[in-house]
Structure 1
């Protein structure tokens, strides 16, 4: 099969591009000659537009064009190829198009082309740009598939998607049989999804000799990544970089934050036109810098033009301009951002200045306390180079650190420092689908892996042999963390699906609470308190969603203004609404019962808490002194309520409960419990698996629970401490079916 496709590709495809391969000067021939050769678009059969030839001239100037023949030859002869080059080389836009030409040359008999991105916005931007260059309609020959949005058709030959969406697709198509070429872009980012995808592609390629795998990276991969697929180095094509402009190192004693703001103002006063991107470290710094620059902008002389600060938070590029949009001569945009947003600015042609703090904030998961620690560390040389190149060959990059600072050579793989419970659930599902063990480039932390398996066992997602149980299979159908997926399934038993689906959607979407500048925060807190529910934050989220839907469906109301007035994020609520629909559709697809809404009744409130405890029994804490110091049962750590919590807001409506269930513990940032609701110890005992309870570390809180268990249920005598895990699970099933 592999030999067949190679011979067909060499015979049919290179016949049409012989001029390109035989003479490099063919790439610089006039448009008239190219028009004579390709009068009709090979993908839709329609005549090319004049814009196609205009864009073609621009495409030929990209560094990647000098490597087209080498790439096409390598793609035809082998299964794997790696292309390294910065975003300015054109690798992300041109390589997928050439892969589509390769598949077309064999009449798509082995499938279409899919190209993964690490962020949704990049997938959309690239699909729009490539469809324009290929002179086809978006959503037809070229499309995209991102969470909550699909713009594709059955005849789509080139699809851009996020790496996690392709992983979801593998669940129903384990061998990716609809694709002939898989392009993994931004492989240097080493996200969990991209690393898992590469591990699975190695196995898929062994079972499909006709499949082609293309890795696109900003820099040359490390040797272990090059040898991952075949055991020996795969072919590597290096693209010439257009280079960076002037680099100025500027380390100051008063810190990078103040230095960055001074530089912005100095650039605006003395430099030529051009926008600025400032790489800071934390969300708080981005927001503070935005407020300060907005204040300073009002004091600038009018003849300098307008200074427009724009906050671009990690993974939220919605505030970026459209590709190619530039500020006017009378205005200068200042983008304030942090890692991992370097690649968001590849299409902002107006950038002339980069200010780089040289640091990033990373979340490192600690399996012992089941939460993330925050580490501030230097960026890698890959990121530093990527940031410098954003200013272009004529711009300037100001590095706010010494030139002799030693930066890490590569980006640390996320798989070794992340919570991989969701990943383990997915890989267990893949084993059922027939794929063998995922061969990671860098293996996950062993302690984190054991904790993930233990958590899945507590959630009843594994059977006694360590394979995925029926419960686990159903949980894997939802694009949710396993605990939330278990909560959603439990809601089917407790007749509170309508309410729990809202909670799941609101907690999966970005937070709906807007935190304004300091002087407006008391007003925002008062607005948020109007939605508070006496049972806790999970119920408050239902109140907010229902109020949002009520105003959204009222034709006489401006729902965006309503959100603004109550300091709520309109886009986050829209995403929650879309997620709610997706989760509800999944429940219907797998034929699980959806209950009638009953929010507000006493029985419904109790059932919602039962469903939440079915998934989040590992996230329970007790106020040990009556003053808000909450002892976390699983690891003996003490934390406080988050200020945005209904309990943390010091509301007269809500006193501090003794026992709470929480959604998140932000350990390193503020040591706070986020999204908290009141529970009783009896409810915890009812829902938590027995063998989880007995594995809790010894504490006063556990003694209280044990005393309730001993005196409140005759069927659970103290000698159960010695019960086996299997017996405890059977007893748990007797008390709660969902466990």
Structure 2
């Protein structure tokens, strides 16, 4: 890395006539050198600098730099189009450079991985340096950094994972939390932990970037903190609907067609509630657009749902002639992702969104239709620019008090509690949550970790819990993977964990092609269940790669599988393998297909998912879930759903997740109750709610003493005796029962 030469003559900073804070060095002919890499600035640097100075954030540069020097914590309020996410990190890098990086570098978090990459590329261009050197990024499964990196963009969950080895973030002099209004679990935890870290590190600077509706909440949370408000952009013309938004879907489509008929220039952005609505809108508008194309020009439809890649790539891939108009159909809750586009002149906001909300009582999620928050509504109104129009299909009063619901109140917090327990070991105090998790959810998380043997008798992390916290999976899957080391089925369990962590590998198709896809998917189905089917799919994918019969994309296309999902699963599997090697856990050779291996996989699954057991009570697919006494069905895409007539329905199953709103279990495999009795910790087993299914298990365990056993809770464990029966051995339940 190039270091500052104190004997050189300073020149005035080319970035600001008013704030000459940057230092450049001349040699001979007054060439200005880049202070970060020591090379002369390119002509592109000056071109971009001219554009940067037009951003509204530039007006507060001097104020920001002075505040950063004199305050530990700053809040900057303004939308992404003000330039806050690109300019402020650069000024923070200059601040760290002025101190010769004595206190560390700069890290800027994002809630969306593609946006972290896009911003890093843009900022490297503006700073006139190479991506991966002075400016880099870290996202799940991909790192583009080096020892020269002084400014790094990363996702908020990656910074949290980094705290496992650097709990006080001593590698950084400035931490920037961008998009605080998104209220992701990782961002909320970071904001809570940084309160304690600032007390331990007075030299650390923290900058929180958000939008105006969120500032009051942050000011109350941090008490004494400096706020810098960016000048508001000229808001587009906003039209609110006075009617009920129950018919928002068809109202949005009518508006799209009306805008297209006006022949006014500009692209259209439509925010819909769910992916299903997006695909339905695509079908309708595609048909209507084709009918109007001759008279009004082509309407190019672009689908943007979560998990489908970056916005910038979609904008560049879809070319649009002067006689055509792009219509973006989005469910994107990350409105800041639109910071780079100027083509959108019309925004249609339905004002609703579908979210998965977790219910701790039944340990399941439901898809719920909710109104969007004030923060989301505020950002969407800015997206069409001063010359555009925003059509809000809801009344202005309906969002008057709608706060952005924090994800930590809507999701399982068991992974969060496991992480915070790990931070306690590292010396960090309690997390000062902006919104404290629900006590019932917190108790359920502690109970679940206790069942998984992740806690000791004092409620601290056990040795098993510490190892689980090192594995980047949810606690149940981490425990199953850990158990697989004992059962010699690590290779297969790595595949299952990777396939379940990646997006679904099955391509969603129109109804007319679904039969053909089902026929193809049947070739992979395994009689033991969906977990084994996923292994079949992954192994077939890898075999095709090795033998190169077809390109990976063509092979996936032929079998109606998602190539990007399988590629992601392959990367996740490699990362998990590296993690196990790092913590020196044994990895067995693959032996998929043998009877012993099948039995071992089921035992490993039950070590982590023993709370997710169901029994078919009538032989027709009505499954009784033992943990909360709900009746549910198997998901139609399961091998037991589509192939029940061929494979038959198993009586006892273990499932990966239960969706309350659909009342179905996803990723289901057959188990035997004897193996469940063998693997389930007794503390959980004796706390199962009373039911006929529990009585069956009790009778299997001890027909004579089952009634007496219900009245007491012995600290014993179950293991298989030499004859294959069940024997009682003394064993504390808080240990990993995987003998």
- TM interval, shorter chain, is over 0.9
For residue 407 of structure 1, report the CA deviation from its aligned partner: 3.8
Q: Measure, in 2, the Cα distance between the counterparts of 1:17 and 1:223.
A: 38
**Counterpart for residue 497 of structure 1:** 490
Q: Measure, in 1, the Cα distance between the counterparts of 2:593 and 2:309.
A: 37
What pairs with 1:156-555 in structure 2 (closer than 5 Å)? 156-219=149-212, 221-229=214-222, 232-250=223-241, 255-318=247-310, 321=313, 327-555=320-548
Instruction: Report if aligned partners of 1:252, 1:259 keep a CA contact under 8 Å in 2.
Output: no
Q: Measure, in 1, the Cα distance between the counterparts of 2:370 and 2:225.
A: 32
Q: Measure, in 2, the Cα distance between the counterparts of 1:176 and 1:126.
A: 22
For residue 69 of structure 1, report the CA deviation from its aligned partner: 0.4
Q: Measure, in 1, the Cα distance between the counterparts of 2:243 and 2:539.
A: 51
1:197-256 deviation line (CA, Å, top 9, x unaligned): 111111111111110000000225344422434xx3300000012132111224567711
- Structure 1 alignment gaps of length 5 or more: 1-10, 28-32
What pairs with 1:22-171 in structure 2 (closer than 5 Å)? 23=18, 39-171=32-164
Q: Measure, in 1, the Cα distance between the counterparts of 2:341 and 2:304.
A: 13
Residues paired across the two proteins, number:
715
Q: Measure, in 2, the Cα distance between the counterparts of 1:291 and 1:239.
A: 41
Q: Measure, in 1, the Cα distance between the counterparts of 2:617 and 2:84.
A: 57
Q: Measure, in 2, the Cα distance between the counterparts of 1:463 and 1:59.
A: 55
Q: TM-score, normalised by structure 1?
A: 0.92
**Counterpart for residue 574 of structure 1:** 567
What pairs with 1:575-614 in structure 2 (closer than 5 Å)? 575-614=568-607
1:297-336 deviation line (CA, Å, top 9, x unaligned): 3322335332222221124434653667763313322221
Instruction: Report if aligned partners of 2:617, 2:623 keep a CA contact under 8 Å in 1.
Output: yes
Q: Measure, in 1, the Cα distance between the counterparts of 2:262 and 2:618.
A: 59
Instruction: Report if aligned partners of 1:103, 1:112 keep a CA contact under 8 Å in 2.
Output: yes
Q: Measure, in 2, the Cα distance between the counterparts of 1:272 and 1:405.
A: 30
Structure 2 residue matching 1:460: 3-state secondary structure: coil
For residue 412 of structure 1, report the CA deviation from its aligned partner: 1.7
For residue 518 of structure 1, report the CA deviation from its aligned partner: 1.4
For residue 37 of structure 1, report the CA deviation from its aligned partner: 8.4
What pairs with 1:623-642 in structure 2 (closer than 5 Å)? 623-642=616-635
Q: Measure, in 2, the Cα distance between the counterparts of 1:21 and 1:273.
A: 36
Instruction: Report if aligned partners of 1:515, 1:524 keep a CA contact under 8 Å in 2.
Output: no
**Counterpart for residue 719 of structure 1:** 708
Q: Measure, in 1, the Cα distance between the counterparts of 2:402 and 2:224.
A: 20
1:576-598 deviation line (CA, Å, top 9, x unaligned): 00000011111111111111111
Q: TM-score, normalised by structure 2?
A: 0.92
Q: Measure, in 2, the Cα distance between the counterparts of 1:404 and 1:228.
A: 26
For residue 16 of structure 1, report the CA deviation from its aligned partner: 7.6
Q: Measure, in 2, the Cα distance between the counterparts of 1:731 and 1:36.
A: 84
For residue 363 of structure 1, report the CA deviation from its aligned partner: 2.4
Structure 2 residue matching 1:647: 3-state secondary structure: helix
**Counterpart for residue 3 of structure 1:** none
Q: 2:685 aligns with which of 686, 693, 696?
A: 693
1:657-686 deviation line (CA, Å, top 9, x unaligned): 111111011111x11110000111111111
Structure 1 residue matching 2:693: 3-state secondary structure: helix
Q: Measure, in 1, the Cα distance between the counterparts of 2:13 and 2:665.
A: 64
Q: Measure, in 2, the Cα distance between the counterparts of 1:239 and 1:736.
A: 54
For residue 262 of structure 1, report the CA deviation from its aligned partner: 1.7
Structure 2 residue matching 1:392: 3-state secondary structure: coil
Would you say 1:621 and 2:610 are equivalent positions? no
Across the aligned residues of Structure 1 and Structure 2, the Cα RMSD in angstroms comes to: 2.5
**Counterpart for residue 674 of structure 1:** 666
Q: Measure, in 1, the Cα distance between the counterparts of 2:401 and 2:220.
A: 21
Instruction: Report if aligned partners of 1:88, 1:241 keep a CA contact under 8 Å in 2.
Output: no
1:598-625 deviation line (CA, Å, top 9, x unaligned): 1000110010000000000000111111
For residue 724 of structure 1, report the CA deviation from its aligned partner: 4.0
- Structure 2 alignment gaps of length 5 or more: 1-5, 719-728
For residue 295 of structure 1, report the CA deviation from its aligned partner: 2.7
Structure 2 residue matching 1:542: 3-state secondary structure: helix
Q: 1:700 to 1:304 in 2, by over 3 A?
A: same
